[in-house]
């Protein structure tokens, strides 16, 4: 049995790469594991050798100490890998399959799964609907920023790539299917993006850039990305987006300069609860700023997709209300404009096969759009530091040297 190393959250601002147990098909007790999940048998699962496992902005919230994540939690929910062992009840997935692992853990049996709502599965997390690998309050499933990880309900959850060599040649793109590409795309779909749409995407981090690429794939006429970070705005412009620097003032005014009108058809919030203010207030955290901005710049009758993360517990919030997820949003403005809103985890399985096809047949270059940057697993602490400092990159951890050695390298 091989060893296993993983990225472990130690305390706010610090992660380390440590040796952990090789995964098995029975859940063990550990940091963040719900007691009702301890001893749970997962013979429907597989062991995956992680070919690529990415650092996500959602991980960064935990590492900053902005959630109730416990020390010792193994991180990582963006997993692409090779199946190296199957549980006794696995029927269709085979050893040797190269697969994408949706970050949502879903049973495939409950009402929500059967309705395609895999982000809020009722059977995998005793705390609440919905689960994910290596994430706070998500049931305690061990994370996949590791050499090996167990994936439950494998026949249901896994997306098997049809051709191994073709997949390895595009592995930097395909690793985005586990989360950020479907998540950004979901934000656009729920916002009603279509052919000829004008779209405002708040946030030029990886999810925002993925949303912008998704909007282009859906046929948007103009995609405008707003952020404070000039390097990330330059990355958005590198694949044809317009940009607004929100540190320079109200996005509404800058949108009017671009479009001739101050509103767009559709908007996507790809920032979430650690949002900052705009203009002279851009150095101050204002958690409701983006939500209020997207309502302001979306035309009456439009829709807003909100894939950006909002939490029910934020110990680092600036006021008592925000610590429990209560924000001062202008719901009256949204009501007056008859806006529609869509929130919550992206149900990855709703989109990942179609987006895989778009990648494999050269309809989109998502790795280029988000500036995918492979680094060894042992360099994960550096990746976290640089990402937290605002690097215009999507860090792809490469535990076995496959990504750096692939045809895409």
Instruction: Tell me if 298 is assigned to some domain.
Output: yes
CATH number at residue 30: 3.90.180.10
CATH number at residue 187: 3.40.50.720
| pLDDT, tens digit (0-9, with 9 covering 90-100), for 16-62 | 999 999 999 999 999 999 999 999 999 999 999 999 999 999 999 99
And the tokens for 244? 């607004």
Instruction: Quote the domain boundaries for residue 147.
Output: 5-179+347-397
Residues 129 and 258 in one domain: no
Q: Where are the beta strands (DSSP E) in 228-297?
A: 242-245, 264-269
Residues 47 and 150 in one domain: yes
405: Cβ contacts below 8 Å, ≥ 6 apart: none
For residue 406, the model assigns a pLDDT of 59
Residue 404 has pLDDT above 90, yes or no: no
Q: Mean pLDDT, to the nearest integer, of 313-329? A: 86
Indicate the residue among 321, 343, 365 that finishes a domain: 343
Let me know the angle formed at the C-alpha of 321 by 251 and 35, rounded to the nearest 5 degrees: 115
Residues 123 and 194 in one domain: no
For residues 48 and 98, what is the distance between their CA atoms, to the nearest angstrom?
A: 9
For residues 91 and 175, what is the distance between their CA atoms, to the nearest angstrom?
A: 24
What is the per-residue burial (b if ≥16 Cβ within 10 Å, else e) of 101-135?
bbbbbbbeebebbeeebbbbbbbbbeeebbbbbbb
Tell whether the torsion through CA atoms of 85, 90, 94 and 97 is positive or negative: negative
Residues 203 and 165 in one domain: no
And the tokens for 409? 């390298």
Asked if 367 and 408 touch (Cβ cutoff 8 Å), the reply is yes
Instruction: Tell me if 319 is assigned to some domain.
Output: yes
And the tokens for 100? 């994408």
And the tokens for 367? 């790795």
Give the least confident one: 142-146, 194-198, 241-245, 324-328.
Answer: 324-328
Q: Mean pLDDT, to the nearest integer, of 355-377? A: 98
Indicate the residue among 323, 343, 363 that finishes a domain: 343
* 408 pLDDT tier (thresholds 50, 70, 90): very low
Residues 111 and 191 in one domain: no
Residues 169 and 198 in one domain: no
Indicate the residue among 314, 343, 372 that finishes a domain: 343
The sheet with strand 264-269 has its strands ordered as 242-245, 222-227, 198-202, 264-269, 298-306, 340-343
| pLDDT, tens digit (0-9, with 9 covering 90-100), for 152-195 | 999 999 999 999 999 999 999 999 999 999 999 999 999 999 99
Q: Mean pLDDT, to the nearest integer, of 334-340? A: 97
Rg of the Cα atoms in the chain: 20
For residue 298, the model assigns a pLDDT of 98
Instruction: Tell me if 17 is assigned to some domain.
Output: yes
Instruction: Tell me if 244 is assigned to some domain.
Output: yes
- DSSP H or E stretch at residue 52: strand 46-54
Residues 352 and 327 in one domain: no
| pLDDT, tens digit (0-9, with 9 covering 90-100), for 92-143 | 999 999 999 999 999 999 999 999 999 999 999 999 999 999 999 999 999 9
pLDDT, the chain, mean: 95
Residue 217 has pLDDT above 60, yes or no: yes
Residues 24 and 161 in one domain: yes
* 313 pLDDT tier (thresholds 50, 70, 90): confident
Instruction: Tell me if 403 is assigned to some domain.
Output: no
For residue 159, the model assigns a pLDDT of 98
pTM of the model: 0.96
Our count of domains for the chain comes to 2
Percent of the chain surpassing pLDDT 70: 99
Residues 391 and 262 in one domain: no
And the tokens for 229? 């970070």
Instruction: Tell me if 405 is assigned to some domain.
Output: no
Backbone phi and psi for residue 188, each to the nearest 5 degrees, phi listed first: -70, -45
* Distances in whole angstroms, Cα of residue 253 to Cα of each of 88, 262, 263, 316: 60, 6, 9, 32
Instruction: Tell me if 96 is assigned to some domain.
Output: yes
């Amino acid at each position: 049995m091989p060893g296993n190393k993983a990225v472990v959250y130690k305390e706010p601002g610090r992660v380390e790469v440590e040796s952990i147990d090789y995964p098995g098909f029975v859940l063990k007790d550990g940091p963040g594991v719900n007691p009702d999940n301890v001893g749970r048998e997962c013979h429907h699962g597989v062991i995956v050798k992680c070919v690529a496992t990415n650092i996500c902005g959602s991980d960064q919230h935990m590492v900053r100490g902005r959630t109730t994540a416990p020390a010792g939690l193994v991180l990582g929910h963006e997993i692409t890998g090779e199946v190296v062992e199957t549980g006794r009840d696995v029927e269709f997935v085979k050893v040797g399959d190269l697969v994408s692992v949706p970050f949502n853990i879903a049973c495939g049996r409950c009402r929500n799964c059967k309705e395609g709502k895999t982000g809020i599965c009722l059977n995998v997390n005793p705390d609440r609907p919905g689960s994910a690998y290596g994430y706070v309050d998500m049931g305690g499933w061990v994370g996949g920023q590791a050499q090996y990880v167990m994936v439950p309900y494998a026949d249901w959850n896994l997306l098997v790539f049809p051709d191994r060599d073709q997949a390895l040649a595009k592995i930097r793109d395909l690793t985005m299917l586990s989360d950020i590409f479907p998540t950004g795309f979901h934000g656009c779909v729920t916002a009603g993006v279509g052919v000829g749409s004008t779209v405002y995407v708040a946030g030029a981090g990886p999810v925002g850039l993925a949303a912008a690429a998704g909007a282009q794939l859906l046929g948007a006429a103009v995609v405008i990305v707003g952020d404070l970070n000039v390097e990330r705005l330059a990355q958005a412009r590198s694949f044809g987006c317009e940009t607004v620097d929100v540190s320079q003032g109200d996005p509404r005014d800058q949108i009017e300069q671009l479009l001739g009108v101050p509103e767009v058809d559709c908007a996507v919030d790809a920032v979430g609860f650690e949002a900052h203010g705009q203009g002279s207030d851009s150095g101050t955290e204002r958690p409701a700023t983006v939500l209020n901005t997207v309502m302001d710049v979306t035309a009456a009758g439009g829709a807003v997709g909100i894939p950006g993360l909002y939490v029910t517990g934020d110990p680092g919030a600036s006021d008592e209300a925000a610590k429990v997820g209560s924000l001062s949003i202008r719901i009256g403005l949204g009501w007056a404009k008859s806006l529609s809103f869509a929130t919550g985890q992206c149900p990855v399985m709703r989109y990942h096969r179609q987006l895989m096809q778009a990648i494999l047949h050269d309809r989109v270059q998502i790795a280029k759009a988000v500036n995918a940057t492979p680094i060894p697993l042992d360099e994960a602490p550096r990746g976290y530091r640089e990402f937290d400092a605002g690097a215009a990159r999507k860090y792809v951890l490469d535990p076995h040297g496959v990504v750096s050695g692939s045809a895409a390298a």
